Amino acid sequence: MKEIAAAESIKNIKKRDCIYVDKTQYVYELVKHYERVFFCRPRRFGKSLTLNTIGTLFEQGTEPYFKDTWICDKWEFGTYPVLRLNFLDYSTDDVEEFKEFLSADLADFAEDLGFAGKVKSSHPVLALKQLCKALGSRQMVLLIDEYDCQLTANINHKMVYEKFRKIIRRFYGALKGKEQIRFLAVTGVTRLKDVAIFSAGTDIKDLSYDHAFSQMIGFTRAEIKHFYNDYLRLGVYYENKEVRPEEATEEQIDDLLERMAYHYDGYCFDKFCELKVFSTWSVNSFLQEMSSSKRVNFGDYWFDEVGGGLPSILVNYLKTHTLDMSVLQQDEILIPYNEFQSPTSLTDINQSVLMCQTGYLTLKTPANEDCLFVTLGLANQEVRKALSQLLMFRFISEDFLKTHPAKEAVAQYSADSLVLFFNKMLAAVAYDRYPIKEESMVRALLQVFLQGSGLKVEVEKHNSKGRCDLMAHTNDRHVVFELKYSPDGTDEQTLLAEAVDQIKRRDYGGELADGKEVLRLALVFNGNDDERKFTLWQQVE
């Protein structure tokens, strides 16, 4: 059985004889129909491997790395020298150093082609012009990865941001119309109107939400089933030792895929909102862990430190911005189409658009010229937990999280002890940044804390008679929450009675018939400045 590799080089994948999910038909169509393209994707989706695939094909054709792939006998575009630029390699705080190193890479490329001394300028725009003059009638392929690295690093430093923006804008402006560029591909996390890639008259085609290429990056369910079939069969065996891997049925394989989809699928980069993809990093990590541990465990990989941790753009954004937690807890977030399609600048970007571009939110409705508004939402369970962790670490002190294990409290504490535990958590919230002015904020804080701690949480869980505010689940217990909010504490008793009556009359938790303990709690939060905690509660039998 072949290995799984999260590599950024087709050469390394083939050298190690690892599984390669064949995306070469997309590359063929891309090069056939376009000469200059851009696409944005969140981190850990395979942008760099896509560029590497394009570059390897242009450099060497199909031999020896594309044997047995779709494109092996179809490449018809010839070979060219390929200039690869990764903006992650350049300074993010020194503009002059950035210009010097970028220009040096252009000069080195020219020297490799036999044009030593032809590129002399330390300014990227002039260096590019000198390179093109040296090439004359020859052509090259230019691949630029992480074009927005310097911009995302300076989201909180407007003067530095503006300096980088100007030089990057001029550089892309200088690329326009250059006959020496046979093919150009640019990738990044963000799509920004204040960079020349998207300015009026640009010849770079933005394919970020193009229907035809929406599954070029990321895995489809069919691709996972085809290329990782041996691993899926192994997963069926680990869950049911009576079934040997080769005996796994289509129904069993599809069931495992369905559960994988719940955790890792649902990202949509299709403006018609029809085609979706799985996170490549998460799928590879899940299957690798399953193979090594010999058990099926749906872990969270996209957000962990090995996977890159919190996107650097959000790290920088959160230094000076407070995330609107109430908005991010909604199932559907409505934003104007124009703000989604053409964000002007990182310094004033719509928060929900930024969360979409970094992978925390995704398309839930079509996004085309006929739409006044676009709906965004969470892609899957892994992202839901990642978002809860992101928020949890922003509103609760690290000391509290280290010393107060939520899983243990929810699994074992009595009703009184559990409520006191939550009051300690709420007291640790930075009130100036996250004031609790209504019931929805109380619920959002509890939800984020419990989900971020790794518990399974359901919000407004429906049964045949109604829906409770919150449910948390452990291996041995279900905890049902019905919440009420009192602005000043004068109506606490009435609100508690209402909450108890709702739990009883609508039988919240009654549908949970799996033999586990069900703890049902009616709670009243007193929003008075002298209280700001749960002051009344009752366990409902």
> Do 62 and 16 belong to one domain?
yes
Q: Is 389 part of any domain?
A: no
Are 448 and 496 within one domain?
yes
Residues 400 and 486 in one domain: yes
> pTM for the full model?
0.88
Which positions ≥6 away from 416 have C-beta within 8 Å? Answer: 537
Each residue's pLDDT tens digit, 52-82: 999 999 999 999 999 999 999 999 999 999 9
Domain identity same for 247 and 336: no
> 143: part of which helix (H) or strand (E)?
strand 140-145
Q: Measured between alpha carbons, how far is residue 18 from residues 21, 45, 359, 419, 439 in Å?
A: 10, 18, 27, 51, 51
**Residues 86 and 191 grouped into a single domain:** yes
Of all helices (H) and strands (E), which one includes residue 129?
A: helix 124-135
User: What's the CA gap between 245 and 50, in Å, rounded?
Assistant: 32
- 281 falls in which pLDDT band (50, 70, 90)? very high
- Co-location of 361 and 420 in the same domain: no
pLDDT in tens, 318-327: 777 777 776 6
Give the confidence band of 465 by pLDDT, cuts at 50, 70, 90.
confident
Give the tens place of pLDDT for each residue, 426-435: 988 877 777 8
Between the CA of residue 537 and those of 260, 307, 355, what are the distances in Å? 38, 41, 36
Contact partners, residue 424, CB within 8 Å, separation at least 6: 400, 404
Taking the C-alpha atoms of residue 185 and residue 70, their distance in angstroms, rounded to an integer, is 21
pLDDT at 332: 87
User: Distance between CA atoms of 300 and 314, rounded to whole angstroms?
Assistant: 19
Q: Are strands 456-459 and 470-473 parallel, antiparallel or unpaired?
A: antiparallel
Q: Which residue has the tokens 């925390």?
A: 360
Number of structural domains the chain divides into: 4
Q: Which residue has the tokens 């590879």?
A: 284
pLDDT digits (tens, 9 = 90+) for 331-369: 789 999 988 988 877 778 888 998 899 898 999 999 988
- Any domain includes 148: yes
Strands, E, within 202-351: which ranges?
205-206, 267-268, 276-277, 333-336
Name the band, by pLDDT with cuts 50, 70 and 90, for residue 393: confident
* CA gap 95, 251 in Å, rounded: 57
Residue 450 within any structural domain of the chain: yes
- Check which CATH number belongs to the domain holding 524 and give it: 3.40.1350
> How far is it between the farthest Cα atoms of the chain?
85
- pLDDT confidence bin for 316, thresholds 50/70/90: confident
Instruction: Compute the residue count for the chain.
Output: 541
For residue 71 the two structure tokens come to: 């494109």
> Are residues 71 and 205 located together in one domain of the fold?
yes
In a 13 Å sphere around the CA of 272, the CA atoms on its Cβ side amount to 8
Q: What pLDDT is recorded for position 306?
A: 44
Q: Is the pLDDT of residue 267 over 90?
A: yes
Which of 209, 236, 251 terminates a domain? The answer is: 209
Q: Which of 381, 409, 432 is the last residue of a domain?
A: 381
Residue at which a domain ends, from 293, 326, 353: 293
Distance in angstroms (rounded) separating the CA atoms of residues 83 and 313: 26
Q: Is position 193 within any domain?
A: yes
Does residue 5 fall inside a structural domain? no
Taking only Cα atoms into account, the Rg of the chain, rounded to an integer number of angstroms, comes to 27
For the chain, give the mean pLDDT.
90
Residue 467 has pLDDT above 60, yes or no: yes
The pLDDT of residue 307: 43
305: in domain: no
Res. 263: pLDDT tops 90: yes
Tell me, yes or no, whether 284 and 349 share the same domain: no
Q: In DSSP terms, which residues pair with 84 in a beta bridge? A: 143
CATH of the domain at 166: 3.40.50
Clarify whether residues 441 and 513 are in a common domain: yes
Mean pLDDT of 109-113: 98
In a domain? residue 156 = yes
- 350 and 405 belong to one structural domain: no
| Residue corresponding to tokens 């959160």 | 318
Residues 200, 252, single domain; the answer is no
**Structural domain harbouring 522:** 396-539
What's the pLDDT score for residue 228? 97
The answer as to whether 301 is a domain residue is no
136 with 268, same domain: the answer is no
